[in-house]
Structure 1
């Protein structure tokens, strides 16, 4: 019996009558505050008809991988270097679905599938033929110093250990927990010290959405907060008393930072760094973090990373650039994206995604058909 791909593809095709209102004529939506252009050779030209480069934008987690893919794509093909914007998943999807012309991105990068409202926005703005593919997985592996008493944690326990405010006797108070046993009597009598990504890191988004929001889900006092924004702040705001130590990989690797701690500590880092003998994996929800557990979805601190591609793109090479992510020398076992930390699809799944990208566009239904 043939084995199915480890990750399903999320291709979708949207068709129907566009309801364009001309909102994109002569203007472009920009994400507030933290859009970052990445291009070698000059500023982005958004003049209608003038763009010659593939344009991508979205997830801060996917962005570093996309930059690598852009460099290799340009070197391999001789085509102009694609340009990118690190806007975050939601802003990237909004820009992508704002229209189909040269003023909007050809490719959106996200750390989740597009939601129904985003798909409706695409359809409303004439973005009718979109191919969505996973390019791999991202995970925050939890590890501890080798030789420590073994830890096994849940996301709920991690949230209670790290949140700025937690419920005690029905009321939110500044986090009083100093030891893991304070969080749960079944845990060791070890001080809470967690080294993890700084808020400038793409992995910080995974910390917020997968660990913290996942960990506070189902907490009665949190669920009782009516305002969605306030509820999210309660979930993702970290304590600042030294229990959580934000770290940037640009300084030193996470393992080296862990070794600088004089006492017991745990670390949130990439799967690859767990290969270091000085670190022992920590089970989360009973699952040891490893590649197979991430790919098959058993490890709860993992998520798929996606590209959403317009067909046809505003410039030549859009599909070819998307294919770059799936090349064996990119996301194969020894590929440059895998070396950069991407947990890749297996060979069968990559082949399925390549075939999906090469498939001809679906025909547009005739006017008036459902």
Structure 2
């Protein structure tokens, strides 16, 4: 059996049939194939076919009802964000009152740090990973400056060992045990954007909290990628975007988690806005806020309906399929792609252990940008480059197939 036939056989026999037909797959660049083999879902997910109809419904309500759609629309706008609460909670392993859809990722991280980064005495450090996504680096540095601290001293970037690309969990735990008295906040990426490494979130959370620190997670590359149990892991807070694995469109409204021990604590300081007060008194226009005992207390403004509609449509897909089933297929797809890349002359910097990676393989190559262009133009394979020397391929289980992985492997072997 040829490798291509084997890939097609795997697609036909997989326990989770592909949902590719529910997404709009772009045409292949260069005309080599009808559709692209799309491996850039860790940057921007594909559009679900259901999104356009959902948006048209909201536009129709706006046209027919105008302001009255806030209370009379088919999905009344005044409480629209509440429609996302339970599916978002199931997605990240939370209780409904612990999650809220709002803002963008970095805005939410700043709101969380405004509440939970409270340096005092010698406990001032923020621990992130190296490499962290640049926005996280900028955010924590600016928070340190906001508190009158020097980021060069306050921000600790945990680095892999010499000659390695991924952080070892034991090294993170050892740092927290050794230096924990000086750590105010641990805020790592659940899945590293560059390498695809899945961090041991339960172990690191436990160690950070035992050291007396607050533990938050940037789940930009983890939400919709790997199963999460934020409540059970005792995470203090987390934030994620929804335009990568969650397929909600460019710049889509993000999500936020705050553990219930904090949402029930009225003494937790927070930056407040209109939508952070109890709905029952919101329209009294009182000057004094009455925050609810939920993550909604961190909301600032009324929800952007046209931006939330695609998130709701996407969450409905995840609710129907389930993260455990998606994780199983993710491991099968990523493992198959890894096995097919063995002959390629490229260094894989993603962990080889399926339990230690998400739906991503990162390769170290020369001229990453040029290679990505050639993959698209000559083979219709869409990946992305992280200059100077890394390309990333994300076999997203909702719409990527074994045949897509076959195409990517054949193209890389040919070009490398």
Query: Do both share a fold (TM > 0.5)?
Result: no
TM-score (norm 1): 0.25
Report which of the two has the higher share of helix: 2
Name whichever structure is richer in strand by fraction: 1
TM-score, length of structure 2 as denominator length = 0.23
